[in-house]
Structure 1
Amino acid sequence: MTATTNFPRVWLITGASRGFGLRIARAALARGDAVVATARNVATLAALGDAPGLLPLALDVTDEAQAQTVAQAAIARFGRIDVLVNNAGFGLLGAVEEASGDEVRRLYETNVFGLLNVTRAVLPGMRARRAGHVLNFSSVGGLRSGPGFGVYCSTKFAVEGLSEALHAELAPLNVHVTVIEPGYFRTEFLESNSLVVSPRELEDYAATAGQVRAAARRISLNQPGDPDKLVTAVLQLADASTPPRRLPLGTDTLAVLDARGAELQEETQAWRAVSASTDFAAPAA
């Protein structure tokens, strides 16, 4: 089949069957772009319909070979990938000690290693064209961790670090990288299809992680962020000629950034003398 290249932009979106991924895919198709929409079960992508620019494909991001196959299929169909949206992922709720080794490994396999698998599969084409934009979904939890979501936040801290390095490595090749940091948006993220809750509960954490478990049930589907407005921001980001390295979304994320900055300044000043005392002494004149 000859590649069809007459689309303004070609997207590859992981986790496109629900949440942000589904909404971004719909919006991109609606404006005439092509979308390679992926999910573990391709049947779950039926909600996207049969637009001419849609290529639905099965992808388990933890399968590196399958990620390579999907990238090759996208190039064969559309000739290029302009925007990669690394959106696939899930949450884990529970104190750090409560999480089992298997739970932690499964989380990292998807949220970190899966992102790396797909990114490595797509980057050769972007580097060859000297064009492209990688959008990595992090979270407000990638800026500040807290009780109950410590392991999940650690995966997003990893996404932040990887994205920052990728930004520096790819900027000379005209390939952009932006890490997106949503706060609490009204999606299904806190529901059972996107959030694993550790079954082990320790009484000593009832006042910390235990309170967060209860809060998650209250907050779910009542979050302050409007996911449709997030999609508008993502489309604007994809169109930007000089996109930012980071894009925090939501007033709750902005509040965390302000508080985090003030906290770091205060703590650094309080311990500055100790911090500065660890260099070798300057040689005597």
Structure 2
Amino acid sequence: MKSVNTQKVWFITGASRGFGLQISKAVLAAGDKLVATVRSKPQDLAAQLGNHEHLAVVTLDVTNEEQAQAAAKQAIDTFGSIDVLVNNAGYGLLSGVEEATAQEVKNNYEVNVFGLLNVTRAVLPYMRVQGSGHVINISSVGGLFGYVGWGIYGSTKFAVEGITEAMAQELAPLGIYATVVAPGFFRTEFLDHSSLVKTSNEISDYAATVGEMRSFAAVVNKKQPGDPVKLAQAFVKLGHAEKPPVHLPLGNDTLAKFREKTAAFEKEITEWYDVITGTDHDDVAA
């Protein structure tokens, strides 16, 4: 993998904690410039990042499209370009599919999907003018593999996977890359109350499935195998890659789950091959 060593301008959403904070630290340490967004108290993040000369902290609620447009313009006014967009802002929803209310589902999509689209629409016009750029969308192992208790959250990340795949094709002729990163289980605040929503509605029939996942999430918190600092270094490499991939799963757990899924898919294809291939019109089949 070749890399370009020129200084980049990054725009990272949800930079106050978790992946966003670690990636922000790594970007500044690499000598790049950074526009980091937070929903509130931008001065706190600026102090946490050392009030760096290459840093601009901007207030942004990604569900507010006008704020997204203003934040992108502020980034351009400050540093002149946006080379790498990292759509990181998001949160988890631990719930059985039936348990989640319509409002809880909508809220999760507002941030994880529609918020990502708000920011992307705000930034891409500047990248198109530049004729260059890289959009990095953060998905999850839950966007590659369905988990009990994570169906709604995972579906938002499945959406991010599909959006990014299409964007990669649409943007390639314009000199812009798109990558979707699917991290596995990393030791961040993801399972803390600050980042994870649990539905108040719990159906007893799901005690052996979703209930067990709730218990597991409490036990595994801060014991996940992934190192967020190493993930941040991977992002710096990705942002400076000359030809970045469309998909980048991060973590041995993510890779194992993806291979497990593809193997199961191939097995089902073999078992249902005649049915799968027997649905074309007769003139096409002939």
Q: Same fold (TM over 0.5)?
A: yes
TM-aligned CA deviation for residue 238 of structure 1: 0.8
- Report runs of 4+ in structure 1 exceeding 6 Å deviation: none
TM-aligned CA deviation for residue 31 of structure 1: 2.1
TM-aligned CA deviation for residue 199 of structure 1: 1.1
Give SS of 2:23's match: helix
Within 5 Å, which residues of 2 pair with 1:70-219? 70-219=71-220
Which residue matches 2:225? 224
Query: Which protein has greater RCO, CA pairs closer than 8 Å, 6+ apart?
Result: 2
Give distance in 1, aligned partners of 2:167 and 2:128: 12
Give distance in 2, aligned partners of 1:94 and 1:131: 40
TM-aligned CA deviation for residue 283 of structure 1: 7.3
Give distance in 2, aligned partners of 1:83 and 1:16: 14
Q: Deviations over 1:102-155 (max 9, x none)?
A: 111110000000000000000011111111001100000000112100000000
Larger mean CA deviation between 182-191 and 36-45 belongs to: 36-45
Q: What amino acid is aligned across from residue 138 of structure 2 in structure 1? A: F
- Percent identity, aligned pairs only? 55
Give distance in 1, aligned partners of 2:24 and 2:228: 13
**Does residue 26 of structure 1 match 2:28?**
no
Q: What amino acid is aligned across from residue 215 of structure 2 in structure 1? A: A
Give distance in 1, aligned partners of 2:93 and 2:30: 35
Give distance in 1, aligned partners of 2:7 and 2:245: 21
**Does residue 245 of structure 1 match 2:246?**
yes
**Does residue 40 of structure 1 match 2:39?**
yes
Q: What amino acid is aligned across from residue 59 of structure 1 in structure 2? A: L
Give distance in 1, aligned partners of 2:96 and 2:209: 8
Give distance in 1, aligned partners of 2:220 and 2:35: 32
Give distance in 1, aligned partners of 2:67 and 2:265: 42
Give SS of 1:36's match: strand
Distance 1:44 1:192, change over 3 A: farther
Unaligned runs of 5+ in 1: 1-6
Distance 1:232 1:283, change over 3 A: closer
Q: What amino acid is aligned across from residue 236 of structure 2 in structure 1? A: L
Give distance in 2, aligned partners of 1:58 and 1:44: 11
Which residue matches 2:3? none
Which residue matches 1:12? 11
Q: What amino acid is aligned across from residue 219 of structure 1 in structure 2? A: V
Give distance in 2, aligned partners of 1:284 and 1:135: 41
Give SS of 1:207's match: helix
Q: What amino acid is aligned across from residue 181 of structure 1 in structure 2? A: A
Which residue matches 1:4? none
TM-aligned CA deviation for residue 272 of structure 1: 1.2
Give distance in 2, aligned partners of 1:99 and 1:283: 44
Unaligned runs of 5+ in 2: 1-5
> Aligned-pair RMSD on alpha carbons?
1.3
Give distance in 2, aligned partners of 1:69 and 1:283: 53
Give SS of 1:244's match: coil
